[in-house]
Amino acid sequence: MGTNLSAGIMSAKAAPSDLAQRIMSRTGKGCANAAILMLADGTVFYGRACGAAGTACGEVCFNTSLEGYFEVLTDPSYAGQIVTMTYPQIGNYGIDPDDVQSAYPGSTERGAATPALRGMIVHDMCHTPSNWRSSISLPEYLKDNGIVAVEGVDTRALVRHLRDHGAQQGIISTEVFDLTELEEKLAEAPALVGENLVKTVSCADEYSYAAADLPAAHAFADAAPAPAKYRVVVYDCGIKRGILEGLVRVGCELTVVPWNTPASHVLEMNPDGVFLSNGPGDPDAVEETYAQVQQLIGKVPLFGICLGHQMISLACGAKMEKLKFGHRGGNQPVMNLISHRVEITAQNHGFGLVFPSLGKLIPELSGGETEHPADGDLRVWAQRGIAPVVQNERFGRIRLTHINLNDGTAEGIQLLDSPAFSVQYHPEAAPGPTDAHYLFTAFARLMDGDVDYLDIDISKDRLAGWVFDSEDASATVKTQA
């Protein structure tokens, strides 16, 4: 029926002795109920409950970020998933609501988000955080928001299993421990592939977002935004607040619209540009969005990230593939084939673009090559220092601009005959590194009509959004504190 790979964890059916309860009650963790994780292939892990009581099903995946668990927790792109954090201890700096990334439907007000993910798995949950910004512990937050979570799991063994066998459906529970019953519940749960999760996390109505909406609590670190110059329509497929902030900081006034807003309505707004956001799940299931994108390409400057990148790709007629275990974390190396610089990036996606499906190579723009790499590994282009270009049947020439150096998958494209580009990763550093901050600047330059909008000094731009880059940074920090 499966193997318990969490050595040393007691059987979930066994009640702790009176002595064990007295000992645990005097620790920072206190007494905890048993919890269980079962994967679709029958593998079983036992642990302790550290969130809300209940049972949850979803795709079990893992995130390798060393920090930023709250941003991960409130990222709408995790809808339908049970997230395993690979860093050993989670929750040690608590929760500050100012860092929330989602305004999920059902919240009482925009900014008071309800997490979209199904559950969380950690090795060691910190119940007593230490941080001047923390207002509540992570376990308390999970309980308040109805998120089932498990600690005490050997997350190294779990992650190795997922890497070897692929991300898969799973079920976690603090109330059901019969393996047959868990197996039945898991079999009844909907699969991630083919399910449109975007409609569950998008906004219901249009709303605006401008400089006045930036969180004042972040002013001690963030530089003042650029003066408003561009009117941008944002397709909300599950957008993170950090991305809205990144757009505002380069001078955009935003109108955020639902995921299925008709292209005709967007064009009636006469925007300077359109942004396509991140979002959860299977991109092929979000036809209502990429059908609109197909009508927008060539008519208005476009910038897409993550699911937005997939929407532009699908609008061009490309194919998507489900990655074995996805890219999730803040340490993914990406080569920019235009600047030949490597960016350490934050990512969260389980599907990717099959670049050859966009069209045949144009030899004179691809170093004389006429065939795509037979093994599908795009790192050959980094080795040759070439950003290859294909001829697309719908929109002309499309250039491969970014590749993942871990597995050779596509990470970014640029339409050469229409003002549009996209990347598979997240530039807003919430959480993660700031190497990709330049992409917001690139979008502004695209809207200005700059043909070399991607030719940016990444090392300088990555510091542009912080007060720490200015000569009077220390004085600014003192004043704002």
**HSE, side-chain direction, 13 A CA sphere, residue 96:** 13
8 is in an annotated binding site: no
281 is in an annotated binding site: yes
CB atoms inside a 10 Å sphere around CB 386: 16
Residue 304 sits at φ, ψ, to 5 deg, of -125, 145
- The single residue of 123, 327, 428, 437 carrying the catalytic annotation is 428
Is 369 considered catalytic here?
no
Is 126 considered catalytic here?
no
168 is in an annotated binding site: no
User: In the structure, how many helices (H) and strands (E) does the chain have?
Assistant: 13, 21
Residue 245 sits at φ, ψ, to 5 deg, of -65, -40
Fill in the DSSP letter of residue 317.
T
Is 50 considered catalytic here?
no
> 């900081």: which residue's tokens?
249
Return the structure tokens found at 297: 């390409």
- Candidates 15, 43, 274; CA nearest to 167 is 43
242 is in an annotated binding site: no
Q: Tell me the torsion sign for CA atoms 405, 410, 414, 416.
A: positive
- The single residue of 306, 316, 343, 349 carrying the catalytic annotation is 306
> 């000094």: which residue's tokens?
457
Q: At what angle do helices 307-315 and 287-296 cross, to 10 degrees?
A: 60
77 is in an annotated binding site: yes
CA angle (79 as vertex; 256, 69 as ends), nearest 5: 95
208 is in an annotated binding site: no
351 is in an annotated binding site: yes
Alpha helices in 189-306, H assignment, sequence order: 241-249, 263-268, 287-296
Q: At what angle do helices 241-249 and 438-447 cross, to 10 degrees?
A: 60
Our measurement of the distance from residue 109's CA atom to the centroid of its chain's CA atoms, rounded to an integer in Å, reads: 23
Residue 118, SS3? coil
- The single residue of 161, 309, 426, 437 carrying the catalytic annotation is 426
Our measurement of the distance from residue 66's CA atom to the centroid of its chain's CA atoms, rounded to an integer in Å, reads: 15
- Candidates 426, 434, 372; CA nearest to 400 is 372
What amino acid occupies position 353?
L
| Residues 6+ away with beta carbon under 8 Å from 137 | 91, 94, 95, 126, 127, 128, 129
Return the structure tokens found at 348: 């969260």
List residues forming the annotated binding site for L-glutamine.
Answer: 77, 279, 281, 307, 310, 348, 350-351
List residues forming the annotated binding site.
Answer: 77, 279, 281, 307, 310, 348, 350-351
Residues taking part in catalysis: 306, 426, 428
